[in-house]
Structure 1
Amino acid sequence: MIAFEHLTLAYGQRTLLHDTAAALPGGTLTALVGRNGTGKSTLLRALAGLDLPAAGEILLAGRPLRALTPRERATAVSFVATDRVRIADLTAEATVALGRAPYTDWIGRMQPADRERVAHALRDVGMEAFARKTMDRLSDGERQRILIARALAQETPAILLDEPTAFLDLPNRYALATLLRRLAHDEGKCILFSTHELDVALAFCDRVMLLDPPALHCLATDAMVRSGRIERLFAGSGVVFDARTRRVLGDADGR
């Protein structure tokens, strides 16, 4: 569903990825992990078509991303950024309706089928009761679900999310991860999200994509744990990772 070949990404004079390749099929949930500042957001933006790679080819459903028109791209991949939408006069329903923009006419007029898709997306994330609430009156977890509903309303086979569990408490992190896994497995979506929550990634994801500039490693979750790459990622950071239980136990001093 999402693939890239010979991909090179740079940020200013710094090379984040060099000549790397990976493929993510539909029906899978993948976590993108790595240390701060290693380029996770840059990679997601490139896969969404928002930033250009320095070299290489990105494919969406077998088609080169660079060859897609903006409308075609908007029907192939949706992107949930880290922005906190708190607009006082914007309702949750209106926010989700923005996902229908690739399918409406030139003045953005929605048809009954579009409204039904918005309602369906709200039901999918369990937020139909919040449709009339404005975004500034929702909690961080509720807003995150609304932004995911917007991506669902966009009806793309691929969904990219940048740090969707950031600022959420533990129950909401697990609830969100459960939702993403259900959407991937039940609806055949290809979902890739960046996260610092390694426990969540290893408990819920089918695959782990580990960014260790200028290399990228993408393996099934079990294979990634066995590879030892996660321990090497944390080496020297003071963080203790228990591969047997797949848990981050704290820093080396036990805190």
Structure 2
Amino acid sequence: MENIILHTQNLSIGYHSKTSARTIIESSDITLEKGKLIALVGANGIGKSTLLKTITGIIPAIKGSIYINDKNLNSYTPKELAQELSIVLTDSLPPSNLTVYEIIALGRQPYTNWLGTLTEEDKTKVKEAIELTGIQDWQHKRHYEISDGQLQKALIARALAQDTNLVILDEPTTHLDLLHKVSLIKLLQKLAHETEKTFLYSTHDIDLAIQMSDEMIVLTPNKLVKDQPCNLIADGVFNLLFQNESIYFDPLIGKFKVK
């Protein structure tokens, strides 16, 4: 299992309350391999964010186990987990005067001393992240002086500087126009293949994900399916995504169409 970065066993996810738990995905086994770009898709409210929060340890699983590098997720300390797993969110940054470079340097926090002083190795990792994402020209701008697409690339660079084998992104193309959506997914694709890191991202842009992802995790009302996009099309999985007569998936063109 040397190419496996994350796998689950009999995983059920959902919501916990004081008296009970509501399961939304049951008894699923997922395997994520190194060097792959993997899209997570499904209808609104189906459980995409819940799945991401569960496999990152933010909320507990209803049952089952999650392993990162063959070690149970529950066995990691927060610092250890931050050296294995990085997260890119679409939330706005809190008010600050941080430059893009300083935001990226925050990715080194799991490795720095309590003062947060950057070593030469830290600076090298930050420089590599900036070069990989191609943001050299505006690394010294304040974060509020750049566009949404540029900020998203800066946050991806921060995850690269964190130097984890697994990078999880929650809706990274939100607020971007089509050109910048394609540019961002192409960047993730390039990074996955060049760095051998695994990138798992949730998205509503299913047509783009089909064209550009190595693999996809599809959440339907009844099950979770993971495979290459071509196999998912052949198996008719995308027909199960939306329970609505006004939209259907056309396997000949690999896109959704309106009736």
**Superposition RMSD in Å:** 1.4
Aligned to 1:242: 250
The answer to whether residue 224 in structure 2 is matched with residue 220 in structure 1 is no
1:42 alignment partner AA: T
What pairs up with 1:89-104 in 2 under 5 angstroms?
89-104=97-112
Task: Find the aligned partners of 1:237 and 1:65 in 2 and give their Cα distance.
Answer: 41
Aligned to 1:53: 61
Task: Find the aligned partners of 1:43 and 1:224 in 2 and give their Cα distance.
Answer: 20
Aligned to 1:34: 42
Aligned to 2:8: 4
Which residue of 161, 164, 168 maps to 1:156? 164
The answer to whether residue 126 in structure 2 is matched with residue 118 in structure 1 is yes
2:192 alignment partner AA: A
CA contact (8 A) 1:225 1:243 kept: yes
Q: CA deviation at 1:42?
A: 1.2
1:175 alignment partner AA: S
Task: Find the aligned partners of 2:221 and 2:151 in 1 and give their Cα distance.
Answer: 32
Task: Find the aligned partners of 1:214 and 1:3 in 2 and give their Cα distance.
Answer: 21
Q: CA deviation at 1:213?
A: 4.1
SS of 2:249's equivalent in the other structure is strand
Aligned to 1:108: 116
What pairs up with 1:44-193 in 2 under 5 angstroms?
44-85=52-93, 87-193=95-201
Cα distance, 1:59–1:213 mapped onto 2, change above 3 Å: farther
Q: CA deviation at 1:14?
A: 2.9
Aligned to 1:24: 32
Q: CA deviation at 1:60?
A: 0.7
Task: Find the aligned partners of 2:37 and 2:149 in 1 and give their Cα distance.
Answer: 19
What is the number of residues matched between the two proteins? 251
Aligned to 2:238: 230
CA contact (8 A) 1:91 1:132 kept: yes
CA contact (8 A) 2:107 2:158 kept: yes
2:29 alignment partner AA: A
Q: Percent identity?
A: 36
Unaligned runs of 5+ in 2: none
Task: Find the aligned partners of 2:7 and 2:93 in 1 and give their Cα distance.
Answer: 30
